[in-house]
A = this chain, B = another copy of it.
Amino acid sequence: MNNNQSIRVFAPATVANVACGFDVLGFAIEQPGDEVILRPNKEGKVIVKQITGDGGKLSLDPTQNTAGVSILKMLEALSSNQGFDIELHKKIGLGSGLGSSASSSVAAAYALNILLGNPFKTNELLPFTMEAERIACGSAHADNVAPSLMGGFVLIRSYAPLDVVRIPHPEGLHCTVIHPSIELRTEDSRKALPQMIELKKAVKQWGNIGGLISGLFMNDFSLIGKSLEDIIAEPYRAKLIPGFYEMKNAAMEASALGCSISGSGPSVFALCKDEKTAIESGRKMKEIMDQMGIASNIYTSPINHSGPQIRE
């Protein structure tokens, strides 16, 4: 390793749950994404030098910061006592439901792996980034870190043992996401959910996840659209998002295939068969937020296939 070398890595935001795939499905989008600049230091410690874009909310303590945790866990696994300076540039809103914490930890892990000469395969970085998620939201979930790290659509088939499956999707599939400027803490949003659910509702949900995955494999936009239904989490979490059903109706009227809550919200995503429909769905959702006097950002893109990327 060249001791003066530094690296800047971008890792994409992600849409987890994807309506019917609560805790097991996610996909990456092109923008936004966090950036991490990692540089070896001589202090033999992991130091968070700078964080931008977080409004001062994130801790500079590396054990309390997802970028720091994934790096600490990797060094621990390698029994390494090397030190690194971290600069973290947040582009994804905190508590947005777009996998903000996941993106930081993925960018950091990917960057460190390259600086160390790739001791891990990309998918072997997943457990470290999941540990970072545990710090951020209380559980080591993988439905944001896996798609941010691997790109594309990802199914978390199992957590113990960890088993992730990359799912194909039809060309043309686009996503539009609206991030209203309200903050929801993932923990609060998880608490809104019941611990027990009706078996018959679970059956309906697993019919839909079967349908969504089949539709993605078969390039069947109609089947994808019909399957994008969430009767488990959305009814509870929608109450925490002002104007959710109005936005959903607006997206569906603009011919989106389906529309639901991104992760634990408040961002709302719509999947669409092409870019034009995605742009129009986003515009219609933004109109609702504008009418309600809530500022919002719109991100429209194809599904992101590359995952993390080195930036100059």
Interface residues of A, Cβ cutoff 8 Å to B: 20-25, 155-159, 163, 165, 167, 193-200, 202-211, 213-214, 217, 223, 226-227, 232
Q: Which of B25, B197, B213 contacts A213 (CB 8 A)?
A: B213
User: Are B158 and A210 in contact, CB atoms less than 8 angstroms apart?
Assistant: no
- Cβ–Cβ contact B163 & A210, under 8 A: no
CB atoms of A226 and B196 under 8 A apart: no
Q: Roughly how many angstroms separate A195 CA and B156 CA in the complex, as a whole number?
A: 26
Q: Which residues of B contact A157 (CB under 8 A)?
A: 207-208, 210-211, 214, 223, 226-227
A158 partner, pick from B21, B195, B226, beta carbons under 8 A:
B226
**Shortest distance between the CB of A92 and any CB in chain B (Å):** 25
CB-CB under 8 A for A205 and B202, given A158-B226, A214-B217: yes
A195's partner among B167, B193, B198, B223 (CB-CB below 8 A) is B198
Counting chain B CB atoms within 10 Å of each CB, the highest count among A24, A167, A226 belongs to: A24
**A203–B157 Cα gap in the complex (Å)?**
9
Contacts of A21 in B (CB 8 A): 206, 210
Is the pair B199, A199 in contact by a Cβ cutoff of 8 Å?
no
Q: Tell me, in angstroms, the Cα distance from A226 to B159 when the chains sit together.
A: 12
Closest Cβ neighbor of A23 among chain B residues: B203
| Additional A-B contact list (5), CB under 8 Å, known A165-B210, A197-B197, A197-B198 | A25-B210, A157-B210, A196-B197, A213-B214, A213-B217
Contact of A197 (CB < 8 Å), options: B23, B156, B167, B199: B199
A206 near B24 (CB under 8 angstroms)?
yes
Q: How far is the CA of A158 from the CA of B213 in the complex (A)?
A: 14
Which of B167, B195, B196, B206 is in CB contact (< 8 Å) with A206? B206
Cα A25 to Cα B208 with chains together (Å): 12
In the bound complex, residues from chain B placing their C-beta under 8 Å from that of A197 are: 196-199, 202
Shortest distance in angstroms between A229's beta carbon and chain B's nearest beta carbon? Answer: 9
What are 10 inter-chain pairs, A to B, with CB distance below 8 A?
A157-B208, A157-B223, A157-B226, A158-B226, A167-B214, A205-B206, A206-B206, A210-B210, A210-B213, A213-B217
- By the criterion CB–CB under 8 Å, are B214 and A155 in contact? yes
Report the Cα distance A212→B204, complex, angstroms: 17
Interfacial chain B residues near A165, Cβ < 8 Å:
210-211, 214, 223
